[in-house]
Amino acid sequence: MRFSDLLYGLAVAGLIASPAKARSLRKMQPTGQWVVNYDEDTCRLAREFGDGKRSLTVIFEQFVPGDKFQLMFLGRPFDPADISTGTKATIRFGPNEAADDDNSVSFVTVGSVPGVLLGAFQRLAPTSAQEKLAAKQASDAKRYYEYPPIGSARERAATWLQLSKVLPYDIELETGPMDRPLDALRQCSWDTVKSWGLSIEEQKGLTQKAYPSVPPSSWLSSDDYPQEMVKQGYGGIVNFRLIVDASGLSISCHVQSSTRPKAFDDIVCQQVLKRARFHPALDANGKPVKSYYRQAVVFRLGP
């Protein structure tokens, strides 16, 4: 069980692997400009690529300021009939960054347009071995650890985005430099912080963000999977935000986005508010202050 994407494993029959086939790559040019959409709970950065029946839209969705975002791809090419159950997508921002090849895929429909939502939260680059080691050492020592920012230079150098292993072919979106689009997305996210009753200046100056003092793996268990959803075979993704007070208690839980059904939303906030505990955020002077914490839960039936 993981909690960066919390996976509930209820056993189902496994799939037999088929021999790997050579995959073709289709490069797609943009047909519009980057657009940032402001929402009370999320910010979205979107752009359309391709033409006609092969056109698609990529959407970067961000729930709190920083380097992380969730990716969604919408368009007619994403026919569920062409995509296998249990598909794992590979994402790569090129030409310099490494591939991230362990992203679960959920089918979505926006209006009448089909698409896929990647379960894991992305950065421009996957977490490095050194960062993973530093994070583990901090966790073992019960210390705070902040992943170093990607930085504008690396974002500027990223000029295309590849999505592999989802469609019968792989696609490469010619995005152009990603520094300005991602900076606009972060600015939108900072603007939403104020609507949560928090000071942008104070939050930008934190010397420590709120982080769990009780392991997130204990916040939810497979027993919390709604039984009606198990019977109906439903899975879901719930992105939620907690407001954490200066004592480290969660004082509110808000679902920022969800694939529904609502039963998943309700169980997440009910159980997390009861079980989550934090080391509080510290301001520029080291004083505990109210802040926020964001997480996602993936409810999935299967291995």
pLDDT along the chain (303 residues), means of 10: 33 39 89 91 93 90 93 90 77 97 85 87 92 91 90 98 93 98 96 92 96 88 84 81 96 85 87 94 97 87 66
Domain residue limits at 246:
200-299
Domain edge (last residue) among 158, 177, 195: 195
Task: Indicate whether 72 and 182 sit together in one domain.
Answer: yes
Is residue 5 situated within a structural domain? no
What is the model's pLDDT at position 258? Answer: 79
Which residue reads 């490069």 in tokens?
27
Is there a single domain that holds both residue 227 and residue 101? no
The residues, any chain, with a CB within 8 Å of residue 8's CB and separated by 6 or more, are 1, 222, 225, 298, 299, 300, 301
Return phi, psi of residue 162, to 5°: -105, 135
Query: Which residue in the block uniquely carries the two structure tokens 């494993």?
Result: 9
Residue 97, domain member (yes or no): yes
The pLDDT, as a whole number, for residue 9 is 29
Number of Cβ within a 10 Å radius of residue 28: 22
pLDDT of residue 209: 95
Q: How far is residue 62's CA from residue 251's CA, in Å, rounded to a whole number?
A: 22
Instruction: Read off the DSSP letter of residue 117.
Output: E
**Whether residue 153 sits in one domain with residue 106:** yes
Positive or negative torsion for Cα 11, 12, 14, 15: negative
Of the candidates 148, 176, 195, which is a domain's last residue?
Answer: 195
Q: What is the pLDDT of residue 20?
A: 55
Q: Do residue 32 and residue 122 come from a single domain?
A: yes
Residues 68 and 118 reside in one and the same domain: yes
Instruction: Specify the pLDDT at position 51.
Output: 84
Which of 195, 219, 244 is a domain's end point? 195
On whether residue 224 sits in a domain, the answer given is: yes
What are phi and psi for residue 280, nearest 5 degrees?
Answer: -70, 160
How far, in Å, CA of 9 to CA of 299, rounded?
A: 9
The CA-based angle 156-117-84, given to 5 degrees, is: 120
C-alpha–C-alpha distance, residues 119 and 124, integer Å: 16
Structural domain includes residue 291: yes
Q: What pLDDT score was predicted for residue 17?
A: 41
Residue 240 sits in a domain of what CATH number?
3.30.2420.10
Domains in the chain, number: 2
